[in-house]
């Protein structure tokens, strides 16, 4: 009984069951509205409320990002290229591979890479043909 803390109005916490002085308690905002509970449970609830607010902010940011992607995707659909990023992903990948292949072919023509051999060397005509093939004109 020596460690007993004298309290004016001892009250059990509705959340954890610990005794606390009613004057030292805090009002619950989320778990038990219009109810007072202990300091420890108040801190836990406050942390949860803060996390909920952060989650809501992230949801709003994500929603805005999705709207931006849809809006810009719509612009891309209206361009001269006529590519719909949602349905033409494979086409975009193939074109990117052709660009990479064109770069490699030009390196070989100019013999800029260590792998280039004398057989791969060519002239501007060869570069033009490689570019036309990459762009789908040949």
Q: Are residues 99 and 63 in the same domain?
A: no
- Which of 28, 50, 77 terminates a domain? The answer is 77
The answer to whether 130 and 105 are in contact (CB under 8 A) is: yes
Q: What is the pLDDT of residues 6-37, one digit of tens each?
A: 888 999 999 999 999 999 999 999 999 999 99
Return the axis-axis angle of helices 89-110 and 124-135, rounded to nearest 10°.
Answer: 170
Q: Helices (H), strands (E): how many in the chain?
A: 3, 4
pLDDT tens, residue by residue, 29-67: 999 999 999 999 999 999 999 999 999 999 999 888 888
pLDDT the model gives residue 1 = 45
My answer on whether 73 and 97 are in the same domain is no
65 belongs to a structural domain: yes
- CA dihedral over 29, 30, 36, 38, signed as positive or negative: negative
Cα(12)–Cα(10) distance, integer angstroms: 7
Instruction: Determine, yes or no, domain membership for 4.
Output: no
The residue segments making up the domain with residue 39 are 10-77
pLDDT tens digits, one per residue of 102-123: 777 777 666 654 554 555 556 6
Candidate from 1-5, 10-14, 36-40, 128-132 with smallest mean pLDDT: 1-5
Q: What total number of domains does the chain contain?
A: 2
| Same domain, yes or no: 20 and 66 | yes
What pTM was estimated for this model as a whole?
0.48
Q: What whole-number percentage of the chain has pLDDT above 70?
A: 67
Look at residue 83 and tell me if it is in a domain.
no
User: In terms of domains, do 41 and 63 share one?
Assistant: yes
Confidence band, pLDDT 50/70/90 cuts, at residue 70 = confident
How far apart are the C-alpha atoms of 13 and 27, rounded to whole Å?
Answer: 11
Q: Are residues 68 and 116 in the same domain?
A: no
One domain for residues 60 and 102: no
Whether residue 66 sits in one domain with residue 25: yes
73 and 110 both lie in a single domain:
no
Among the candidates 55, 77, 99, a domain finishes at 77
């Amino acid at each position: 009984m020596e460690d007993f803390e004298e309290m004016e109005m001892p009250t059990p916490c509705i959340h954890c069951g610990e005794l606390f002085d009613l004057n030292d308690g805090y009002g619950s905002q989320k778990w038990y509205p219009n109810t007072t509970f202990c300091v420890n449970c108040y801190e836990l609830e406050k942390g949860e409320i803060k996390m909920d607010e952060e989650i809501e902010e992230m949801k709003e940011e994500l929603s805005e990002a999705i709207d931006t992607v849809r809006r810009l995707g719509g612009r891309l659909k209206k361009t001269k290229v006529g590519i719909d990023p949602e349905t033409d992903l494979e086409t975009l990948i193939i074109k990117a591979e052709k660009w990479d292949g064109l770069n490699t072919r030009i390196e070989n023509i100019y013999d800029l890479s260590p792998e280039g051999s004398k057989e791969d060397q060519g002239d501007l005509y060869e570069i033009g043909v490689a570019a036309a093939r990459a762009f789908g004109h040949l």
